[in-house]
Structure formats: C-alpha cells, structure tokens
Amino acid sequence: MALKPDVSALGANESPASSADSTLAEAEAEAEADFGSTAGNGGAGSGPTAQERKCGTKSNKGPVAGDACDNDLDMLPTSLTPLHYDIRLHPDLLSGQLCGSVAIDAVATSSFRTITLHAKTIDIQLATVYVDGVVLASIEAHNVHYNEEMETAQLCLPSEVLLPSTCSQLNVQLIISFAGRISDSMYGLYRSKTRNRHGQPAHMLVTQFQAKCARMAFPCWDEPAIKAEFTLTLTVPSEFTALSNMPVTHSVDHGKLKTVYFRRSPRMSTYLLAIVAGELDYIEAISYSGPKTDSGDARQAVPCRIYTPPADIDKVQFSLDTAVRVLEMLANMFNYEYPLPKLDLVAVPELEAGGMENWGLVLFRTVRLFITKQTSLWIRQKAVYVISHELSHQWFGNLVTMAWWDDLWLNEGFATWIGIYITDKLYPEWKRWDHFVIEDRQAALSADSLRSSHPIQVTIKGSADIDQVFDSITYYKGCSLIRMLSAHLGIDIFMAGVRAYLYKHAYSTATTKDLWQSLETASAIDVGRMMHSWTAHVGYPVLTVDDSLDDCQLQLRQNRYLNSGKPTQEEDQTVWWIPLGLVTSDTPAAHEILHQRTGTIEIPQNARWFKLNHRNAGLYRVCYSRTALKRLSLAIRTKELCTVDIVGILNDMVALVTSGYLRTSTMLDMVSSFAAAAESYVVWQILGYFLESLLLTWADHSDQLHLQVRELARSLFAPKAAALGWTHAANEDPLVARLRAIAIPRAAWAGDSAVISHACELFTEFYLNPDIKPFHHDFTASVFEIAVRHGSDINYERIREMYESSQRWHLSEDHRMAALGAMACTKSEDLMKQTLEYALSDHVLPQDLNIVIGFMVSSHPHSKYVVWQWFCANYQQVVDRLGECSALLGHVVGSVIGEFANESMAQEIEQWFGSKRTAAFDRTIPQSLEFIRVRNAWYQRDKDDAALWFSKYR
C-alpha cells in the first residue's frame, strides 16, 4: 500500500482486484488443485504461538528460524487456529447496517476455556461452538465480552475443552451470526460516493482491511501470520456488479437483490480479503502470466479487467495495457506464475491510499487509473509506478507475507523498488531512478535524520503503532536498502535469491532473516551480517572525507547523521557496512567496503577529482572538504559527472548545510555551478527545493533575506523558462518537457512578471473558451496555480467553478485535483478561510482534504498561520471527517504543523496537542517539531553568513 498524500501529484498510496465464472463444485475442486488442499498447505497442523507468529512461520505449523522476538505483543491467544472462513454478508447501503454470519473451521492444539477473536463495531448475536462435530455451546449476545482497547470479543465456554492425550488437535467449528455497521470513513467495510449509470449521486461498497480492519466486517483472527482460506457470499442490489478476490461461481436473483457466490480463495491474511460492489463497467485484456504451458516456453492466459463507474470506462485503456505488461514482467522476473485465476483493478472514488493490493482485487484512487490524452507526463509516470508497485505485491506481500507488522518493510520496501525498476524497464526514457534519487530517497534520508526516527524493523506492540509505520522509512528507506543491496550483489544474483525466497515461503509468512538467508544462498555472501546495522538500527551515516594529509589517500570516518547536528556519543554507537563506490577522473567505480569506524582508500596521484557513492547506490551522505568540492564543481561544469552523481552531491550539500556541517554560503557558492551545467530537470528541481527551503526557514525571521532569496531564484529560473518557452517540440525528449514544466512555475514563484502575465492570460482564455485549451496539459496545474496566486479574486471564483464543473472544461481527474489545489493558493486571507471551510464540505472528498492544506501552508509566508488557527478551531470536525484512527489524519496533522521555522510555534504546537488524544499520529508530532527546531537552529546559526553572501551577490 502506498504512503502519504502526494499533494504535488494530487494523490497518495497503492493496492489489487478479482472476477470470473464456474459452478460452485468446480470452483472448490479447482481451488484445491491450484493451491493445494487445506492439509497440504499446512492448515491442519498445529497453530503458531504469538512468538512464532511474530517471528515467522512455515504454513502456520510452527516457528522458522527468525529474528529475536518480543513476547509483549497485543496478539490473540494461540490455542485455536482458523483454517477456513465461510462468510455471508448482507450490507444495506441505505441504512448503513450490516448483517452477516461466518462459519469458521479451526483446529485446537491445546486445551481452552475461552475463544478470543478480533471484533470492532461488530455485535455478535449468537455463537455456536462445535468440537469434532458435536455442539459444545451456544453463546448468546449477553455472554460475549468485548475489549474495546484490544478490539476483541471473547466467547466464554461452560467448561474447559481438554485436548485428549491420544491426539494432537481437535477440530473446532464456530458459527457466528452478527450485526455491524457500514463505515463512512475509508476503512473497514465502507460506502464510497460515486455516480450511477444515470449520472446521479450514489454509493458503492468498498473494503479497506489493511492493516487491522477486517475485524470491522466479521469476527476473525486479524493478524497477518494467521492465514486461512476464504469463501464469500454477498447479497447486494441486483443492478450491482459484485467483486472479490476470487471469481464468481454463480448468483441467485431475489427481485431487487441478488446473492453472489465466490470461489474459495487460497490461504491468505485477513487484511487481503476484499469486496467491491456497485454500478460498474469494465474493459478486459489477457495477460500471459499464468502457469507455464506444457511446452514450458509460454504461460497460460490470465484475464485482466479494470472496473470503473460507468461514465469513466473510456479513461482506463492505458492503465489496462500497463497492468497486462507489468503482470507478465513480474511472472517472468519471479519465474513464478501469477497465483490467482484472474486480476481485477478497480477505480474507487474514495480510497484512503493511492492503491491497495488485495489479492486479485486491486483498488486504486481514480487519479491513478484515469489516464487520458489530457493527463500530464508526471501523472502518467506515477500511474505506471503505482500499478507496478501494487501488482508486485501479488507475489511479495500476498503470496509471501511478513510475519508481523515490524517487517512491513519486506512488503513495502520491495514493492517500491520493483515498482521503480519495472517503470524504468518499460520507459527508460523517463529515467525513473534519477527521480528516485531526488524524491523518494530524499524522503527517507530526511525522515531518518531525526532523533525521533525509528529503525526499519520497528517494534510494533499494539494496534495504535501499526498504521504509523506506513511511512517514508518503511517505503523509501526500505527501497533504498534493496537498491543498495541489489547493486552490490548484482541484479541476477539478487533476483535468484528473491525467487528462492518466494518458492520457499509461498502461501506462508516470512521475516527479514528469511530473505537474507535466501540471498546468502544465492550469493555466498553473509548478507545478514552485512545488512543488520541498516535494518535493526535507527538512522544512517555521514562519511567525512579528509584529503589534506596525502594526495593519494583519503581518510574516511563514519558517524550517524542527524539533521539537528552532531550526535552524542550515546547516539553514535552504530557502525554501518558502507559500499564506498569511489570514482575518480581517471578510474571507474571501485567496489570497496568500509565496515569500521574509520578507514583509508587510495586514489590516483594525478586525479583531478574524486567522488564517493557512485550513482548514489549507498544510503549515506558524504561530507567533502572545500577543496574537494571546488574540484567537483569544475567537474560538473565540464560535464564529467553523470546526472545522478551531480544530484547526489547537491542533495548531500543541502542536508549538510541544514545540519551545520557546511555553511549556507558554501552551498550558495555552488548554486551557479550546478545551474550552469544542469541539463536535467532533476538538478533544477533540487535547486528549487533548496531555495524554497531557504525561503521557508528565513520567511519568519527576515523580510530582507526573503526578498533576496526570491531574487536569486528569479535570476536562475526566469532565463531558463524564457529559453525553454511554453511549447513542447515534436519528438522532444520527455525530460526536456519535464524541465519546462518545472522552470515555468518556479520562475513565477520567484516573481518573474513575464511568466505570471502570460499564465494569467492563458487562464482567462481557457476559462472563456473551454473547448480550446491554449496550453499543453503539462502546464495545466501551473497555469491554474499562478492565476490564483498572482491574479485577482475573480480567478479564484473561476477556478472553483472549473473544479465543480470539470466536464465543461474537459478536465482530466488530475487537472480537476489541480484546480482544487490552486484554490488553496489565494493570497486573500478571507478566501483562505473560505477554502478551508469548503474543504470540509461535500464538495471535497475526505481523502482530498490534505491537497488543500498541503498547497495552502506553503503558498504564502502567512498562510500556514491561517491554516493553524483554522485547524485549532475545527479540530474535532477534521477528526470526525477523517476518522480518529485514519492514517490520513496523521498526514493532515503533519501538513498543518510541518512548515513552521521558529521556536515559539514549536512550543505552541507542543502545548496545544498536549491535551489531545494523539495515538494515531504520535510519531508525526515529534518529527514535525524536530523539523521546526532544525530550521530555527539553521537560521540562528547562519543568518549572518547568509546575509553577508547576499550583500556581495547584490
């Protein structure tokens, strides 16, 4: 599942889907043939203990060699293990009520007196317990005991059930009838707003069970290691299309309702069970990604469909074509067939994440699937990545699942890496790994530079911890480590280890140690020892280079890097395994390793320059001397370094300036060198980020420096925008087009009157002539934003009209979201407040609230204060709209408080949240406060240094 709301690309996270036909008997027979019988999958074996579940199991039969475990976890008792759920649900979308029943086949491997399952917002009406086919007890509603904090229901039996000495297990069946509620938040079983076949407002039924919300739809053992098989029966309105993980076997009509029966699933975790029902249309294609044919030189066909609301079916052909290609690539890369008989992708109007990888039924936000000729290049790239990310989970996450949430990075870090890898293979001209270095890798390095960060393998003790680890550490640090390791081992050896891992742990769970063991077998390298410091410890190193003692030798020292400055001795205990990747003017990259605190490395005597961390494969920063930086500056000007290496130097310098390793003037001295040599959009994007960060830090303290930073930015971006112009040339490199789409809004941000004037003219022309768009769709978001930010209030009213009536202007989904973001860029404080109130209305979906907030807090120096005051006054309304346990609430909180740069605001925020329940985002607050204090320290430390530099610059 994907991570944070992407306010620049107007979307957020990731996931999968299902459908087909056969008789019920055939379906069950085929299920056993395809996935193995229950016993064959280990389902009839003894159930895992809480420690075994956390440490990893093989087919739920017991512990596998795994990492050390923490017994103090909020896990269910282990006397019973479910094998199969037969779930029957009848949701009523009008009333919001849910009634259902579940028959659970389980085995008991020890004596028990109580049965404890997960249940949240579920009322158990009657539970009948059978042991070896004999009724043991019928438990009525008043005898069910609920624990709201643990989200469990306990069934108390009249006497203890003893395990006879003559057998190792008992067969237990629970038949439970229950009532529940359909949620209006985006988790559990919920209602999503949509439009029916006649274009009228309607609802569709959707599930979001990751990470711990299956318990909101039916009583279950809701932990990832407790895998079982599922058979689903669903009663819905007769006009609905009903989808789940497996194909439909048959349906029975009952007038206005119908009951739909689905095939039995393979063993999987509860969080992967999925349901979608609504008025939907689909398009279909065939992917040759199934089991290999008898000849062994081809694969069998797998039907792939994309479902959308009826009016939108013409928007998803590109996404379907992409899904087919990606699925085939994955089956061949893993040398393992796609494990299910079909794959459905569904465009869901309201979805908390950008995607959700339910096995066989992958869900996406509409902006991630609706790709048309009007869609910008960046959104198209994002769509390919998100589809690749979610489909890779069908193997890495669904077929093999992490044993407990502390190994979530196994799912998400790998899926992030494979998503980028496949995008780069499909569209090498996009240079997706270059973008990874400036965006995703930087997000990981930024978050992990905080004292309030966490190890990639983080302790998860209870429900409140789980949602918060779907963060940039899990996704992007995880991806960065996979990238570093695959580069060191070589992609062929790395993938051989991955294939062995998948085959060994298929239909079961695994741990980080299990992956290392498979890679060790493939590579004959002690991967576990090599990677332990990276996964088990918080943070990452900065490598300080001393080149002053010997022209042919570099003295190296590694220390933990902190954004707030040098670490204490206690904070600096970890010694990392570091691939040095040394490249010089005279020699190619060398693959030497630093695995001690200090070390030396040789360079050629006449080398004009040297650079460590070639192509930024390693997850660390490098602090060079001023002399070394001057030599690298010349190498940049003479174009001797590749783009990724230039980006690495630039990124490291920005970070080292922020933390005090370098002075701000050192970075400012280098800006012209970077700009003079920069032909790639990624370099210009980082320059823009640095100047924006400088502006953000100085805006609260010095109006003079604020103006000087904008003047510097204008001197860089205005000429670049003028040279590139507003027109994409035929057959132009897509990255030149991307640079143009960056330079124009940056020039406007810096105050370039020519760009601002032209953008406002284009906006007016488009508004008055909706059928004739006078600019390329790559500029749509920029034109909208500039027109509202710099134009009159009439442009604000016009952009709102375009958002509400997007069809009139033929706006794609991403451009409709761009219109919403542009509304937040108004300079009028009254209109800011009006926009924030609008964001809580029915005009804006809850998932899109953070688009408004994310744009507004950074649009003007005073706007973040307006947002903060509004948030404090409307906090409960925000919580009610998003849900107290929603991951979106944490994203919103981070956006609201994350842009300040002075100590007084840090103290005010700290005090305000002191009286609030913050369990759902208690990592977000300390991280945001630390960023605020880092910026404040940067200003206090370098204000005179920067002022002196700008006085000379002028």
Please give the positions annotated as active site.
390
Q: How far apart are CA 16 and CA 1, in angstroms?
A: 10
- What is each CA distance from 46 to 520, 742, 766, in whole angstroms? 30, 58, 67
Q: Comparing C-alpha atoms, which of 815, 824, 892 is closest to residue 863?
A: 824
Tell me how crowded residue 828 is: count the other CB atoms within 10 A of its CB.
14
Alpha helices in 173-244 (DSSP H): none
Type of residue found at 829:
E
Residue 519: CA count within 13 A, CB half-sphere: 24
Please list, in sequence order, all residues whose beta carbon lies within 8 angstroms of the beta carbon of residue 799, skipping any fewer than 6 positions away. Answer: 784, 787, 788, 819, 822, 823
Alpha helices in 824-923 (DSSP H): 829-839, 849-857, 863-873, 875-882, 887-897, 903-913
How many whole angstroms from its chain centre is CA 435?
16
Q: How far apart are CA 398 and CA 406, in angstroms?
A: 16
Q: Comparing C-alpha atoms, which of 801, 919, 791, 784 is closest to residue 851?
A: 784
Q: How far apart are CA 45 and CA 658, in angstroms?
A: 56
- What is each CA distance from 246 to 30, 85, 216, in whole angstroms? 12, 14, 21
Please list, in sequence order, all residues whose beta carbon lies within 8 angstroms of the beta carbon of residue 921, skipping any fewer than 6 positions away. Answer: 468, 889, 890, 893, 894
User: Cβ distance 403 to 225 under 8 Å?
Assistant: yes
Q: Comparing C-alpha atoms, which of 591, 541, 666 is closest to residue 949?
A: 666
Please list, in sequence order, all residues whose beta carbon lies within 8 angstroms of the beta carbon of residue 556, skipping any fewer than 6 positions away. Answer: 543, 544, 545, 546, 580, 594, 598, 599, 600, 601
Q: Is cis: bond before 447, omega within 30 of 0?
A: no
Q: Is the dihedral of CA 221, 222, 227, 229 positive or negative?
A: positive
Strand partners, 106: 82, 172
Q: How far apart are CA 899 and CA 864, in angstroms?
A: 7
How many whole angstroms from its chain centre is CA 530?
26
Type of residue found at 119:
A
User: Cβ distance 400 to 502 under 8 Å?
Assistant: yes
Strand partners, 852: none
Please list, in sequence order, all residues whose beta carbon lies within 8 angstroms of the beta carbon of residue 612, skipping any fewer than 6 positions away. Answer: 543, 545, 580, 581, 582, 622
Which position has the token pair 């002690």? Answer: 526
Please list, in sequence order, all residues whose beta carbon lies within 8 angstroms of the beta carbon of residue 331, skipping any fewer than 6 positions away. Answer: 289, 290, 299, 337, 338
- Give the angle 235-205-242 at the CA atoms, nearest 5°: 50
Q: Comparing C-alpha atoms, which of 584, 726, 724, 603 is closest to residue 645?
A: 584
Tell me how crowded residue 490 is: count the other CB atoms within 10 A of its CB.
11
- What is each CA distance from 298 to 83, 269, 291, 337, 639, in whole angstroms? 34, 30, 9, 11, 46
Please list, in sequence order, all residues whose beta carbon lies within 8 angstroms of the beta carbon of residue 749, skipping any fewer than 6 positions away. Answer: 688, 692, 713, 717
Q: Comparing C-alpha atoms, which of 757, 743, 748, 750 is closest to residue 683?
A: 743
Residue 641's SS3 state is: coil
